[in-house]
């Protein structure tokens, strides 16, 4: 049976299109509709058209505040740790060791994030690092269930997502460009600032987008390392949908989170365009 071009196109697009419609567009539409509704008497959702849920958002301000503080902070911290590591592995290290070292970066992530977060509970908990600090006479520290603990957890958990795009952009950097910079009178550190850094910006952009967007919706790490004291919007949502069974309010919160994310991402893209990372020749994402 011969397919016309047109038929073939629909057949090829079909699965992805269906996936997109059923699992993204439809749920989003449902959430948007729910957000204008009310909580049913026995919980769940009751049709209505009211802005009451949105008016009520301020009561959940802490969740937004934590998310909007820790997601960008976590992104920046992950960037500051991942960039030097990626630079070292892609540019400096003897290629003979590169594969081994790359594997070492990945191996921890073969274990579930749940298990690794448990490990952090012990590390940051009373008998972990605080006990060590106390033994060294460095004072009394409480780490677990603080914003710091959550920050450590998210940076640790999301660092590879930052690392790999940067690694790839540094790895494909033509070394001849650095020789050219040197030939033209630029000492190594200036070559880094003027050549290496700008050319690795697409990797930085991709990595920070990935990490930031995922962090905005993070649930597990604040749950485990924040111990209910440091919670994200994601935790509030779980609480609203599963505990208080207030689906309408939960939906309004979800819609707000998506809106905030869109605004931040758009601003970030603008910024990148302005500093020149999003040029056609280097390609963004």
- Cα four-point dihedral sign 133, 135, 137, 142: positive
CA distances to 115, 123, 146, 166 from 221, in Å = 11, 14, 12, 24
Distance CA 147, CA 59 (A): 20
Q: How far is the CB of 95 from other proteins (least distance, A)?
A: 15
CB of 271 to other proteins, least distance (A): 17
Element (H, E) at 124: helix 113-124
Kindly tell me which of 135 and 183 has the beta carbon lying closer to other proteins.
Answer: 183
CB nearer to other proteins: give 92 or 176.
176
What DSSP line would sit under 162-175, residue for residue?
A: HHHHHHHHHHTS-H
Report the alpha-carbon distance of residue 35 to residue 54 in Å, rounded. Answer: 8
Q: Distance (Å, rounded) from C-alpha 260 to C-alpha 172?
A: 34
Residues that bind other proteins (CB under 8 A): 174, 176-177, 179-187, 190, 194-195, 198-199, 276, 279-282
Give the nearest distance from C-beta 154 to other proteins in angstroms.
Answer: 31
User: With respect to other proteins, which residue has the nearer C-beta, 161 or 170?
Assistant: 170
Nearer to other proteins, 9 or 190 (CB): 190
Give whichever of 3 and 174 is closer to other proteins, judged by the CB atom.
174
Distance CA 282, CA 197 (A): 12
Cβ at position 243, least distance to other proteins in Å: 51
Compute the least distance from the CB of residue 181 to other proteins, in Å: 7
């Amino acid at each position: 049976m011969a397919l016309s071009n047109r038929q073939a196109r629909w057949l090829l697009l079909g699965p992805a299109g269906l996936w997109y419609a059923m699992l993204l567009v439809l749920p989003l539409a449902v959430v948007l509709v729910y957000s204008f509704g009310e909580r049913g008497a026995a919980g769940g959702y009751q049709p209505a058209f009211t802005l009451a849920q949105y008016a009520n958002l301020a009561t959940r301000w802490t969740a937004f505040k934590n998310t909007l503080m820790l997601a960008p902070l976590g992104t920046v911290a992950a960037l500051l740790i991942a960039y030097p590591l990626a630079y070292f592995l892609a540019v400096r290290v003897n290629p003979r060791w590169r594969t081994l070292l790359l594997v070492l970066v990945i191996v921890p992530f073969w274990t579930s994030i749940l298990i690794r977060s448990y490990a952090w509970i012990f590390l940051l908990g009373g008998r972990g690092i605080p006990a060590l600090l106390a033994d060294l006479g460095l004072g009394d520290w409480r780490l677990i269930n603080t914003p710091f603990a959550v920050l450590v957890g998210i940076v640790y958990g999301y660092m590879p997502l930052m690392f790999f795009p940067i690694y790839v952009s540094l790895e494909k950097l033509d070394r001849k460009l650095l020789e050219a910079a040197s030939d033209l009178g630029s000492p190594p550190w200036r070559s880094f600032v003027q050549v290496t850094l700008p050319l690795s910006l697409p990797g930085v952009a991709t990595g920070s987008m990935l990490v930031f967007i995922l962090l905005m919706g993070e649930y597990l790490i604040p749950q485990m390392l924040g111990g209910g004291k440091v919670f994200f919007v994601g935790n509030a949502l779980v609480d609203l949908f599963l505990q208080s069974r207030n689906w309408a309010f939960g939906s309004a919160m979800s819609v707000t989170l998506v809106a905030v994310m869109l605004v931040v991402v758009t601003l970030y893209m603008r910024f990148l365009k302005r500093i020149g990372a999003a040029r056609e020749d280097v390609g963004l994402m």
